[in-house]
Amino acid sequence: MPISAEDYVAIDDLLGRYCWLVDAGDEEGWAALWEDQGVFTGIAPEPIVGREALKAVPRDVRSIADGKMRHFVGNLHCDYADDGKAVVIARYYNFVTSWMQGGALVCLASSTVTLGRTATGWLIRRNDTVTLA
């Protein structure tokens, strides 16, 4: 079931922050977008589990690209995963570019993100990412 406009805007904002914070190498801010035991699959051989482990992602982005990598969310669509409207499945394309030597596509990925509603807003429960190109 498609989600409300209010929830869509909140999730779109969260995913925008997700991109800005990972590109900036902001470990604390980026990890705060996840549930305590959040899971990220598809970018490492093994799933990355928990906020402490997730902090390595923006750290790695910063060390690899020296602040010159950019992530873009495209074609976002969201559906409630349950009748209580407390869980959302968001799907989008993630365009990753590098600006270290001019603009270049690093990869195009398909992401399926499960988000849980909390008292303070949405948090990422799980992000399953598959590199397409």
pLDDT tens digits, one per residue of 67-104: 899 999 999 999 999 888 999 999 999 999 999 988 99
For domain 5-131, the CATH class is: alpha beta
Beta-bridge mates of residue 71: 96
Whole-angstrom Cα Rg for the chain: 14
Give residue-wise pLDDT tens across range 8-53. Answer: 999 999 999 999 999 999 999 999 999 999 999 999 999 999 999 9
Distances (CA, A) of 23 to 81, 86, 104: 29, 29, 15
- Taking the domains of the chain in order of start, what are their residue ranges? 5-131
- For residue 6, what are its two tokens? 């209010």
The amino acid present at 82, given as its one-letter code, is: D
Q: State the DSSP code for 25.
A: T
Angle at 129 between CA 123 and CA 133, to 5 degrees: 145
